[in-house]
Chains A and B, each alone.
Chain A
């Protein structure tokens, strides 16, 4: 019985259990529902839960453990000559045994007999059935494969029998519990509460997953490349070493990537902060409700546009525009029409990322500015200050911690942004301070190292996880600090 069919059976049993439980509680009520502690539906649900939940849990556990057990048992049947060659060889043999096992199922009795007596070639026979074998088959493999097939078959019917038995036994046990004063609702609600807790722990599990996966992969990377070389290296040159040459595996210096990331984020912030902040101040303090109700959503549209669209915008519009205008400028000044801004450059990526960040700065700052109490504003205006003086001398100082928090959140977005820089910043990892030249970022290199064929053993692949954990730590630090500031600030006026 396949797993999906088994699941279907469990659901069917659950349905039957639900109606059985309901019917029994109705019968026990003697026609008067108030005799029951819980509504009949809860009795039904209680029985259904007992029928389905333990069976499903056992099925899940079985699905995880059974293949491990079968592999172990099959591995033990392999001859000592293979066992002595180390775990890699055993694993290889096991894989072959499994494909032989798959092939044996397609053979007829005579062909099988021919194989066992050694009259027929294993590989050729299997190939004729459409099963490709990686190497030349060994005679011991047939025995091991037969063992594997027998185990698998046993496992299949044992699994079905045990799971269905548990479902039925659970249902019967629960039905016997149903009584007029039985607190079925409390039992059902306890299960629901349990599932709510499981759901909310997924958030924790995600974080644990991120940290654990990054740390373990980055840890493997640091066994090949020393952390000192990674964090303080100034050259990024992850050459893909020729197979077997070992040592010369390239240099993995983080500094040029980090410099590019911070530089581009800085240019973006330089562009986004004044525009976003002034827009927020105008909308909070000056704009008529009508202007506010049209301009604010329109600016927020910028935040809803996918970043790949910004990347494309940088690629076909901003980059070429900056390149051409620099050529014209250069021509006007020196007579030499040579562009001094590259199409892919820190400036291009910074400006386009800045456009993306405008709504983040403006929305967050707007919220914070409007939170400043009315009394402060009225006091300042009443003393004869103009609106701009009120903003500059009263509101901004009061809102400053919140705005700093907002800017930090925006900065963490700029650091983690990927698609814009992939298309607009270039791939050359170098350290320089000219904003008209291309630089590259941590995120670009993560994408570069992980697209295409990869094997999880080379430092060229694993370095992406070391980069990832660096990025995660930077953004996490910025976020935690920003949230801390924003939270602390909010409490002030409450």
Chain B
């Protein structure tokens, strides 16, 4: 009302421009502001997406490279098997003092005086402690190596790795960083000799959990995730499709089916951690299944994925036009035959798209797995889904809690691997939809 009142006042003051002045300038300014807010909102969202991806990639791409040191290791019998008992006692080869071999080779390479203990210690600290198992496995696999000198590629210790990648600020006072000046000198000396170099890090794909960043990888966790995805796929696809067929095609419209429907919609929105509690109470405490096993994780994720698949499948079934059903029924097919022979194949692309999206969601889920004990320090590949295992996102969670710089790099590297899996799955879903989806 006040607008009208004020404009009448103006009309009386300047009658010749009265029709024009309806606050158009102000209103257009408001319009522009409004548009700007919208643009700003979208840009903010996209900015955060870019920032998130940039954080992960800039921190993580170096994880796919690893500094290695190739040394000619002399497998002297004196060290590996001093008493010559390896033919009778198998334990000799397992417990031999392999770090000594590394030390000798490094001292020789750098031309150090072996009697200066602190200096030698500093030098051997440059090489990962995982070299013990590496050499042991070499010797156990082929005992004839003893007595020969073989070039072996060893992992550099995590701090040397970071320093060589230029991630450690060498201007900081020596006492405040983990890499000493002497070690840097040796590092450069080795690099010039071509002994120390960066190479593609296959370890991050194959290793298991380790407290040493350079020997830690996601291989074991990825296998656990693979087991779980297999279980989720095998269980949730048939159950989900069967449930949707019943609800969409057969169920009478009554209070019970109404209840089931509301129920499924709600289950899709239940926090994932609640499914973890369910798994803990029902599968582990009540049914006595093993803790930390991929099979329990698979069951929990199945229950979590089911609502997603059911909702997608019902939409796909709904999209099949009634004429198809009418034609099949008209030719004498039973209702069951109509659905299984005609409707279901036509709805399949939509169902599979929904399933892949559900699986991708399950692959990135962490919280319920924490509760059923999959936060385990698993070093060896699980042989079956019943054995203790861990999962890719849980491995990321465990590494994120580690303080070392090298673990930040590994965590980002693992996130990149996880995101690549998700991108591939989602692209697959999109392609499937583009390729097979029919509009009626």
Contact = CB atoms under 8 A, between A and B. Distances in A.
Nearest to B59: A316
Given A210-B278, A213-B278, A387-B31, A355 B48 contact: yes
Interface stretch (B62-70, B82-90, B240-248, B378-386): B240-248
Interface in A186-200: 189, 192-193, 195-197, 199-200
Interface stretch (A22-30, A163-171, A301-309): A301-309
Interface in A139-171: none
A313 B50 CA distance: 12
Given A279-B45, A317-B55, A306 B263 contact: no
Contact of B303 (A206, A306, A416): A206
A279 B364 contact: no
A149 to B, nearest CB: 22
A206 B267 contact: yes
A196 B393 contact: no
Contacts of A305: 52, 364, 419, 422
Interface in B366-413: 366-367, 370-371, 373, 375, 393, 396-397, 400, 408, 411-412
Interface in A315-334: 315-317
**For chain B, what secondary structure do more than half of its interface residues adopt (helix, strand, loop), or is it mixed?**
helix
Contacts of A298: 46, 49
A430 interface: no
A20 B267 CA distance: 44
Contacts of B244: 200
**For chain A, what secondary structure do more than half of its interface residues adopt (helix, strand, loop), or is it mixed?**
helix
A308 B49 contact: no
A386 B28 contact: yes
A312 interface: yes
Contacts of B143: none
A312 B397 CA distance: 8
Interface string A376-406: 0000000000111101100000000000000
Contacts of B370: 447, 450-451
Contact of A388 (B35, B59, B280): B35
Contact of A479 (B59, B266, B276, B426): B266
B306 A475 contact: no
A301 B243 CA distance: 29
A207 B34 contact: no
Interface stretch (B36-44, B115-123, B129-137, B209-217): B36-44
Contacts of A306: 363-366, 393, 418, 422
Interface string A287-302: 0000000010011011
A443 interface: yes
Nearest to B269: A479
B312 interface: no
Contact of A302 (B41, B45, B367, B415): B45
B20 to A, nearest CB: 13
A209 interface: yes
Residue among A195, A306, A391 with most chain B CB within 10 A: A306
A441 B375 CA distance: 20
Given A203-B264, A418-B367, A468 B38 contact: no
A419 B366 contact: yes
A257 interface: no
Contacts of B266: 207, 476, 479-480, 483
A471 B273 CA distance: 10
B140 interface: no
Contacts of B265: 479, 483
A256 interface: no
A468 B371 CA distance: 12
A275 B418 CA distance: 28
Contacts of A203: 243, 260, 263-264, 267, 306-307, 310
A275 B303 contact: no
Interface of B: 27-28, 30-31, 33-35, 37-42, 44-46, 48-49, 51-52, 55-56, 59, 238-240, 242-247, 250-251, 259-260, 262-267, 269-278, 280-282, 285-286, 303, 306-307, 310, 334-336, 360-361, 363-367, 370-371, 373, 375, 393, 396-397, 400, 408, 411-412, 415, 418-419, 422, 426
Report, nearest first, the 6 A-B pairs whose CB atoms are least far apart. A416-B271, A282-B38, A306-B364, A278-B41, A213-B281, A199-B242
Given A189-B335, A298-B49, A391-B34, 19 more contacts: A189-B336, A196-B250, A201-B260, A204-B259, A210-B274, A213-B277, A214-B274, A214-B278, A214-B281, A274-B41, A282-B35, A304-B422, A305-B419, A355-B52, A388-B31, A412-B269, A416-B274, A450-B280, A480-B262
26 contacts: A195-B242, A196-B242, A200-B246, A203-B263, A207-B263, A216-B281, A274-B41, A276-B41, A279-B42, A281-B38, A282-B37, A282-B38, A306-B366, A309-B364, A309-B396, A312-B56, A362-B45, A386-B30, A388-B31, A389-B27, A389-B30, A418-B366, A443-B367, A465-B277, A472-B271, A479-B266
